[in-house]
Amino acid sequence: MTNNKRGVAHPYSILKTVTISKTPTGKYYASLLFDTKQEEPEVVISGKVIGIDLGIKDFAVTNNGEKSSKYNNPKHLAKHEKNLVRKQKKLARCVKDSNSRLKAKRLVARVYERISNARQDFLHKLSRKIVNDNQVVVIENLNVKGMVRNRKLAKAISDVGWGMFTNFLDYKLKEKGGKLLEIDRWFPSSKTCSSCLYQMNEMPLDVREWTCPSCGTHHDRDENAAKNIRAEGIRQLSVLGTRTAASGGDVRPKGGRKSVLRQSPIEVKQLQGS
């Protein structure tokens, strides 16, 4: 018998494996795997649907059918880059296999560990807030491996942690019986007008705002993409024959935790074209 996440003893928990690992900074961790004999809850899609457009300038722009919200990119690596470069230079000057090199190597590892911990903390808090407030989360299936081949964006893309964020959303939604829906990466979310569905031929990355030549609606690029991603997710759910209250309705898992993201999201107002 052991305790689960909420501190309640579960009589059917069986310890399967114990894995001991050591980090580059010299810390030891024990990972315990328990079989709780618990099944995942049945997926119920009868609440709020949110669309998420992931980016670099803003980590995420979301739309839940009522409002859009922006979450800034914390840029964890950039905050520690000067300190990291300084310690890496010191490491490079050390004699190979010396004690001073070993110490310098550990100092570099500590900076990387700090960056990793800050990134995971941000992603856990944001994913928890989104999952607590929504039953269905719709995102694009991004080709991260292909995108990091761009030398200008490789460092920024690697730092944001889109893949980790998707994994966090996935397992948190499964725990509450929600659903993560990934739409095709080629879906034209940015260059399609969310008001009249007019599709632009091209939409370069440097274009952050644009006006639809068909209906005259002025769009924020990322907010418009989040709306289209959400709409495409709802369309796919309807094709599958799944009923969903996409236009609203409170969705709270029974016994769910309160939001752990202290700062409120920024509401983005729709700009009307003249």
Catalytic residues: 53, 140, 222
CA 257 from centroid of its chain's CA atoms: 19
| CA distance linking residue 202 with residue 210, whole number of Å | 11
Length of the chain: 274
- What is the SS3 string spanning the chain? CEECCCCCEECCCEEEEEEEEECCCCCEEEEEEEECCCCCCCCCCCCCEEEEEECCCEEEEEECCCCEEEEECCCHHHHHHHHHHHHHHHHHHCCCCCHHHHHHHHHHHHHHHHHHHHHHHHHHHHHHHHHHHCCEEEEECCCHHHHCCCCCCHHHHHHHCHHHHHHHHHHHHHHHCCEEEEECCCCCCCCECCCCCCECCCCCCCCCEEECCCCCCEEEHHHHHHHHHHHHHHHHHHHCCCCCCCCCCCCCCCCCCCCCCCCCCEECCCCCCC
The token pair that represents 16 in the structure block: 């399967």
Q: What are phi and psi of 216, to 5 degrees?
A: 80, 5
| CA distance linking residue 179 with residue 10, whole number of Å | 26
| CA distance linking residue 73 with residue 80, whole number of Å | 15
